[in-house]
Chain A
């Protein structure tokens, strides 16, 4: 016979995999100094004057090429554990005169340029070009400039990051420092910040419940405000400096009102409530041991705080519709297969203002379950 209990269990298991917006596990490298050995390897004897300037609160080193005969440079080998795009940010400042400097990132296994940044200090304002990679921005910071570019990297391959300063025989040195790769996440007393990327682009929205990972403390909390680089949460949390290997993600809310279980929601936190509708059943093939077909529906109601906008509840609803896409199948422990119907396919309701303080979006998932008749 149709086993609705197993069907409900399969639906709950599937529901637990709900995946909302996420930063992914952020990879972050920071070089605070330039040309200091042994962290840096040097070709020739490029000049370095440590912490010769301060831009944006960070010390910059003054570096140059004092050989008129050969090109001097310094390099490091950043290790990327994940492939994909890497935001590269660095602080620069002009010294005294015209100079043209190069900064590069190359793949050593599959020889290729991943990033080339050409910085031309003809005037105080640098002219920056990226023959390889993408130049995102050049913004003034105090008396210097922050250059942001996007590179690609292959996680398994080794890479070389090189700084090739101008020849001091004809040009000037330049200030360089606080070189960042990837995205670093930090925790503040009121939420989280990131060094690159955008929480808005990732899809975070007020009203969502965010789960941190990789921090010393990883408390789940509710987002109250979002901008590109700052996420504000409802509960105060411990401050932790920027680091690598962290993530923020939105999953199924912790608050869950399962059928026939008591649940009192927590004010301000999103929660879900389920209804399982067994639906009608019929035998679709004739004769003994025919096929029994049931058309149950799984209704998931997502509640969030009223007045927090549509982003949070819409985000949850969209994630649910993605999770239960038409034709999604779930195999029950008895071997029967529960499928998400295509007509009608899963759909969601308009946002409803319900009891005072709550708003809700209802996602309805029509299903089909077939099994063999026992007689």
Chain B
């Protein structure tokens, strides 16, 4: 193998690894938002019907761009942990319990919780803040 051939092979290898890192970064980012990630600390989406979880999709507008988005109308309410029409006074998290029965909602501030036992809020913010760790992990996957 002469030097020219080695250079071509090296170029192809770099291109392949870059492409793998690019795809893996997108996949890790989507996974962090949807299901959570120990790298970013994102909890992932809470699941009731699964509509919100599955509404998060990854698109490729071009060969060098990844677009991750949701068309779920209440996604911002979950992301930002906003009080919503569903929970106008932030009371769903403070149920009284009497005789084993869940009683009426009690006044509460930011102590409410979702019906889901998985996921939480701020997954996009945490994913964005930890994005470099996802990139590092994606690069490590490509190098393995």
Mark A residues whose CB is within 8 Å of B: 257-264, 273-275, 277-280, 295, 297, 299, 301, 303, 341, 344, 349-350, 352, 354-356, 358, 360, 362, 364, 366
Contact = CB atoms under 8 A, between A and B. Distances in A.
Contacts of A278: 41
B129 A264 contact: no
A354 B109 contact: no
B126 A297 contact: yes
B108 A364 contact: no
B125 A364 contact: yes
Given A280-B133, A295-B130, A356 B80 contact: no
Nearest to B37: A280
A366 B110 contact: no
A280 B40 contact: yes
Interface stretch (B4-12, B45-53, B84-92, B95-103): B84-92
B109 A261 contact: yes
Given A262-B111, A275-B81, A280-B38, A356 B128 contact: no
Contact of A262 (B83, B94, B125, B130): B94
A262 B122 CA distance: 21
B121 interface: yes
Secondary structure at the B interface, as helix, strand, loop or mixed, is loop
Given A280-B39, A295-B130, A355 B81 contact: no
Interface string B102-120: 0000111111000000000
A72 to B, nearest CB: 71
Contacts of B110: 257-261, 263, 273-275
Contacts of A280: 38-41, 130, 133
Contacts of B39: 280
Contacts, number: 98
A364 B82 CA distance: 13
A360 B101 CA distance: 35
Given A297-B125, A355-B88, A360 B82 contact: yes
A366 B41 CA distance: 13
Contact of B125 (A274, A277, A350, A354): A277
B72 interface: no
Given A301-B80, A355-B87, A360-B82, 19 more contacts: A258-B110, A260-B109, A261-B110, A262-B107, A262-B108, A273-B109, A273-B110, A277-B122, A277-B125, A279-B40, A279-B41, A279-B129, A280-B39, A280-B40, A280-B133, A297-B129, A355-B88, A360-B80, A366-B129
A273 B133 CA distance: 29
A261 B85 CA distance: 20
A299 B128 CA distance: 14
A349 B122 contact: no
Contacts of B94: 262
Contact of B80 (A263, A299, A341): A299
A227 B89 CA distance: 33
15 contacts: A258-B110, A261-B109, A261-B111, A277-B125, A278-B41, A279-B41, A279-B126, A279-B129, A280-B40, A280-B41, A299-B80, A301-B80, A352-B80, A355-B87, A362-B80
A-B pairs, top 10 by smallest CB distance, nearest first, are A263-B109, A280-B41, A257-B109, A355-B88, A362-B80, A279-B41, A366-B129, A354-B82, A355-B85, A262-B109
With most chain B CB atoms within 10 A of its CB, the pick from A274, A278, A295, A356 is A295
Nearest to B120: A277
A295 B83 contact: no
B140 interface: no
A299 B81 contact: yes
B113 to A, nearest CB: 12
A301 B76 CA distance: 12
Contact of A297 (B84, B107, B122): B122
A264 B107 contact: yes
Contacts of B80: 299, 301, 349, 352, 360, 362
Nearest to B82: A354
Contacts of B128: 344
Interface in B21-48: 38-41
A355 B84 contact: yes
Contacts of B133: 280
A277 B80 CA distance: 12
A359 B90 CA distance: 15
Contacts of A358: 83
Contacts of B130: 279-280, 295
